[in-house]
């Protein structure tokens, strides 16, 4: 099996680390986006409930 020199190993590890950081940043961004989506969805639902309460005759 091919053996990497210490410099090649260090460069490979640095590249792996950089890639892991990018992946982690994307994952965090997705989770934050979903969190915002949850909050917005909840906010809209609250608004809808409030408007339904404000106009009770609409259901007749």
Q: Contact residues for another protein (CB under 8 A)?
A: 1, 24, 27-28, 30-31, 34-35, 37-46
Of the two residues 35 and 57, which places its CB atom closer to another protein in the complex? 35
Minimum distance of another protein from residue 9's CB (angstroms): 12
Of the two residues 22 and 31, which places its CB atom closer to another protein in the complex? 31
Nearest-CA neighbor of 20 among 8, 12, 9, 30?
Answer: 12
Of the two residues 34 and 60, which places its CB atom closer to another protein in the complex? 34
- Who's near 37: CB < 8 A, 6+ residues apart? none
Q: Are 29 and 36 in contact (CB under 8 A)?
A: no
């Amino acid at each position: 099996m091919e053996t990497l020199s210490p410099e090649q190993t260090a460069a490979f590890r640095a590249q792996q680390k950089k890639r892991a950081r990018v992946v982690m940043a994307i994952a965090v961004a997705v989770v934050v986006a979903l969190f915002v989506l949850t909050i917005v969805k909840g906010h809209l639902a609250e608004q809808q409930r409030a408007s339904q309460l404000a106009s009770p005759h609409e259901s007749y």
